[in-house]
Structure 1
Amino acid sequence: MKTKLPFTYGENIMELSFPEGFLAGGLVKTHPPEEILTMAGMNERIDTALARPDGTERLRDMVKGKGVGFVISDEFRWGLQELIVDRMMAEIFAGDPESLTVFIATGTHDPGVYGKNLIQAVKTIAEKIGRPVRVMANDCDSGEHVYLGETALGTPAEVWDEWLKTEVRVFGHESKHHYMNGYSVADKQVCPGLSSRRTVTSTHKHALDHEYSSAGRNPHHADESRRRNPFGEDNRYVRKMANRHLIIDGDLRDVGRVPEFLLDMISSSRSIDWIKAGDLDIVSREMTAAVDKHAVHYIERTKYVVISPGGPPACNTLYGVQNCFDMALKFAIKQGGDALILAPCAGRPELKEEVSGLAPDLKAKLLFWDNLVTWIKRPLEEGKRWIEDNFELYLWKTDRILKLQLEQEVKLYLYSDLPDEKVIPGGFIPVKDPDAWISERAFRNDGMIRAIDEGNKLLVIPR
């Protein structure tokens, strides 16, 4: 008797069959929401958290007569940004600030692509409230970033001057595990979110330390043994350096500390499973434990794995699909195992055919994919050395896939909508019939198979 399991495939669900005795446990997937909420219920949960901050006074009491900066995540990681803006702007304006600027933390993403809908949403909410609001998205190449010095890890810290002009700094954030920062924490809304390309490139080079710059590790972690993460540490340094500085009448001054306030949550489109507001460091420390409780899966490694990254945007490109390798696959599979990846890689219609499905834009394709094609045919040490010496953004993803294939010796089989000739050069083996792939490995009788859905949204920790 076969076991049938549902997997996310783009916007759809596909069902695969597993022969009896072959499947190791049930389907590994994100935990369901603790409670489905109405919009009124979600509003109430946010308002309650804002009214009971930990480690700070109430936000409305912090902002009176001040120039306030309020940062939210961009559309690359679409979530509850509009709801967060609506409730937090109401709280901010209840305190009568002198001004409010909303910042969209686009980092190195194209602000015209990943900020445009949120900009309009913020304007609409501001009109409803009846108060003037400036809203802008970070352009990492604008030349409008101010040098604050070097971090302890040697990164030149350059942060958007508009953020440095604000007298109270407010963060609206949604948390989860992160493939190299360990956790998606509010630090990332400043770096990379509001930083220059030079700064972001420097911090991203720490991702080459794949042992420690990895999911489940961050300097905010409640468990001291899991705080080492060079990537997360450097982002935190940049945020803290920005927090010391204020531009007053055109002059950059070290004022010791600019007041900060964070609203953080674990959420989905219809739920808020955990939420807390107040001091950024206090809230972030508690968040790590909450995210672990919500999304960690402790499992035994298996020889075979079937994995879906989840729906869009996680499944749109191989560049994005790679995230689930770091979150789940590399921890779930044995040395030398076979993995079947289920992702349509549909891309975006406005991209050139040579780019669509592989990467989000041409530059990412040239750096991530083209270098993977080059170095997958060479000894791993040569590829690692070249990437180290020539590092640019996106190359860390090349480095991670090279290590997965050449060091961990995992064979990557891909069921997608991409033509075979497009994926084979990067070391991916096309599959036309996932059920046949599963049955063939079951017949070998040499190991078990693990099934993982929404691998971009959970963390696997091997037992």
Structure 2
Amino acid sequence: MFIDKGNLSQEETCYIVKGIDTGSIIVDIKLKYGSDSLVLNIPDSISVDIFEPNEASPLADPLAAFLNALDAMDGSAFTSGSTPKSVAIAVPDETRPLPIKLFLPVLIERILKTFPSLKVEDISIVVGGGLHPPADSAQLQRILPSSLLDGSCPCKIVCHDAKNSPMTYFGETSRGTPVEVNAAIGTADLKIVMGMIDVHQFVGFTGGSKGVAIGCASARMITANHKMLAKEGASAANIESNPVRQDLNEAGELIGVNLAINVVLDASKKPVIVLAGKPVDVMKAGAVETARIYGLKMKEPYDIVIASCGGNPKDICLYQAQKGLTPAAQACKEGGKILILAECSQGIGDDVYHDYVKQFPCPHALMKAFQSSEFRMGAHKAFLFARVTTKKEVVFHTALDEKALSECLLKKGEAQATLNQWIKELKSPRIAVLKNANSSFFSSNE
């Protein structure tokens, strides 16, 4: 067996070689699954390539780096003009592992120090999740620092609801997207967005103004933007000629997002770099580092691809886990087999997607209906699943029950048993293992 160990530390070694009673050798591969891990074993007679993020050194002091990033920017967001009457800070929901609890209290303190006459009650924290359900009290406990929840720092907390929250309208982008975002941030004098920069299957990269232009946007705006997902250039890691990303950048300008604070995380969810400044500039700078860490290369597609979404929160629900299918499909040959490891502790994750997909008898029927109908958010996720499952065999190892997965036109299987059967069927398959599929992409072939 050929295994590329890559940049694993001694503590993170994901495989060991051991003898068994038959005298043959197997390799144990440890992969993230939910908040824990799952171990798969493969005979050493099988060719296996392990793809994992490139080496990245986490920040020794993330908070100091955060303050340095604020000090290093041009300062216009904090110092130009008069004291704002209101400030809004958009933060992501729990599907994005941004260290909000660490950074947010310091940011609020910096704002109040910069504008002494501003009252803390005039600062709003908008928890934006796009079309995800609004954060409930339990989620807020997991997302926000306790000082914002126990009243000791009485900022306003707004849980964005893309369908029901009051919106502020800013006109349309040049591509016709109506720009309307949660009024709590839309009407604020100073608009700040916090987020992480990650590869995105059709936006290119997250970050910049996306945390407002999608995270705090209306359902109508999100739908108009995302319907461009099938257009040329709407692909992972592309930002220069990507119509979806360019539309978001333009929307951010119309909204008037003053400041973006973004981080890039390593595979252990530790900050590698903190950036602050104009949204587009921050996104582009962070995209370079994200691509360096998570950009992968391969020589040729594989017979079998085993993909871990990267554990919680990347596999928190099926809706999020779908993102791991994109690089897995890139790595898998036509007619090949893909095994996805995704716990999905919060279930399917989107009722619109679930209601749409379960209408169809098979992925082929879904593809035909989607392509001949008006674009619908939620339904687009079913399309993204189907465009892979119509060409390759996909099996999920997940906590979701078989009935729910079947309604989503997906197949459930126990990981080791599925892998054993595939190896038996294919005799000597070439196998790829993707350790952090939701954050990875294949940039080009070697």
Sort the TM-score into its range (normalised by shorter chain): 0.7 to 0.9
Is the CA contact 2:295–2:441 (under 8 Å) kept in the aligned structure 1?
Answer: yes
Is the CA contact 1:86–1:125 (under 8 Å) kept in the aligned structure 2?
Answer: no
Identity across the alignment (%): 17
> Is the alpha carbon distance of 1:76 and 1:294 closer, same or farther for their aligned partners in structure 2, counting shifts above 3 Å?
same
Mapped partners of 1:31, 1:139: distance in 2:
37
Task: Please show how residues 212-227 of structure 1 align to structure 2 within 5 Å.
Answer: 212-218=233-239, 227=240
Task: Please show how residues 232-247 of structure 1 align to structure 2 within 5 Å.
Answer: 232-243=245-256
> Is the alpha carbon distance of 1:456 and 1:191 closer, same or farther for their aligned partners in structure 2, counting shifts above 3 Å?
same
**Paired residue type of 1:458:** S
**Paired residue type of 2:34:** G
Query: Any idea what SS the aligned residue of 1:140 has?
Result: coil
Residue in 1 that maps onto 2:184: 162
> Is the alpha carbon distance of 1:241 and 1:339 closer, same or farther for their aligned partners in structure 2, counting shifts above 3 Å?
same
Shift of 1:239: 1.5
Is the CA contact 1:304–1:448 (under 8 Å) kept in the aligned structure 2?
Answer: yes
| Structure 2: gaps of 5 or more residues | 1-24
- TM-score computed with the length of structure 2 as normaliser: 0.83
> Is the alpha carbon distance of 1:84 and 1:374 closer, same or farther for their aligned partners in structure 2, counting shifts above 3 Å?
farther
Residue in 1 that maps onto 2:13: none
Task: Please show how residues 353-368 of structure 1 align to structure 2 within 5 Å.
Answer: 357=347, 359-367=348-356
Residue in 1 that maps onto 2:129: 106
Query: Any idea what SS the aligned residue of 1:8 has?
Result: strand
> Is the alpha carbon distance of 1:80 and 1:294 closer, same or farther for their aligned partners in structure 2, counting shifts above 3 Å?
same
Are 1:334 and 2:333 counterparts? yes
Mapped partners of 2:123, 2:406: distance in 1:
50
**Paired residue type of 1:82:** K
Mapped partners of 1:440, 1:318: distance in 2:
23
For this pair of structures, how many residues does the alignment match?
412
Task: Please show how residues 11-410 of structure 1 align to structure 2 within 5 Å.
Answer: 11-25=35-49, 27-31=50-54, 33-35=56-58, 37=60, 41-53=61-73, 56-57=74-75, 60-62=78-80, 65-67=83-85, 68-96=87-115, 98=118, 99-113=122-136, 116-117=140-141, 118=143, 121=146, 123-124=148-149, 127=152, 133-142=155-164, 144-209=166-231, 212-218=233-239, 227-243=240-256, 260-267=258-265, 271-300=270-299, 301-326=301-326, 328-347=327-346, 357=347, 359-367=348-356, 369-371=357-359, 373-378=360-365, 380=367, 382-386=368-372, 389-406=373-390, 409-410=391-392
- Residue 4 (structure 1) aligned to one of 4, 25, 28: 28
**Paired residue type of 2:414:** K
Mapped partners of 2:201, 2:298: distance in 1:
18
Is the CA contact 1:19–1:439 (under 8 Å) kept in the aligned structure 2?
Answer: no
Mapped partners of 1:299, 1:34: distance in 2:
24
Shift of 1:266: 0.9
Query: What's the CA shift string for 1:256-315, capped at 9, x where partnerless?
Result: xx7x12222113677321122222222222111111112111123212111121222332
Shift of 1:436: 5.8
**Paired residue type of 2:36:** N
> Is the alpha carbon distance of 1:149 and 1:440 closer, same or farther for their aligned partners in structure 2, counting shifts above 3 Å?
closer
Mapped partners of 1:194, 1:433: distance in 2:
37
Residue in 1 that maps onto 2:414: 432
Query: Any idea what SS the aligned residue of 2:235 has?
Result: coil
